[in-house]
Structure 1
Amino acid sequence: MTDRTTVFASVKTLIEPFNAKGAELTEETTFVGDLEWDSLTVMDFVASIEDEFDIVITMNQQAEIETVGQLVDAVEELKQ
């Protein structure tokens, strides 16, 4: 598996407890539209991502991330 594939798999695992709708998780899955997350859920999830990957995602970065694929890209960039 490539590193990006590993990050995607980890992100999917972290999403599962927050996936109340049971939406299919793909690179194109949106947090607001498909998963129907509110701001509190987003904050809880971001905290779990930051803990898992030992990174910090700023509020500005969070505002730009709409899909799972964009999140994976951001994690990859922040890990470097």
Structure 2
Amino acid sequence: MTDRQPIFDSVLSQIAPFNKKGVELTEATTFAGDLEWDSLTVMDFVAAIEDEFDIIITMNMQAEIETVGQLVDAVAKLKG
């Protein structure tokens, strides 16, 4: 769990500028439901995450990632 924490913290800092409603962020926070992001916001956010971690998140992966926790897991796996 400890190796996920820096990734989780960094993901939260990347979400902050896009969190217009000030939603409390947890592992279970959903991008579409809780944060109410549209596809353009998602694209901008994914680009920010890819730059931050120097990874590529495929469209297939994006389709499967619905929560903050799932994104943290995906980043950890890609950085592996």
TM-score when scaled to structure 2?
Answer: 0.98
Residues 1:48 and 2:48 are matched in the alignment: yes
Residues 1:60 and 2:44 are matched in the alignment: no
Unaligned runs of 5+ residues in structure 2 are none
Percentage of matched positions with identical amino acids: 77
Deviation at 1:60, TM superposition (A): 0.3
**Aligned residue number for residue 32 of structure 1:** 32
Q: Distance in 1 between matches of 2:55 and 2:2?
A: 20
TM-score when scaled to structure 1?
Answer: 0.98
How many residue pairs end up in the alignment?
80
Unaligned runs of 5+ residues in structure 1 are none
Runs of 4+ in 1 over 3 A off after TM superposition: none
Q: Distance in 2 between matches of 1:3 and 1:19?
A: 25
Deviation at 1:2, TM superposition (A): 1.9
Q: Deviations over 1:12-65 (max 9, x none)?
A: 000000000100000000000000000000000000000000000000000000
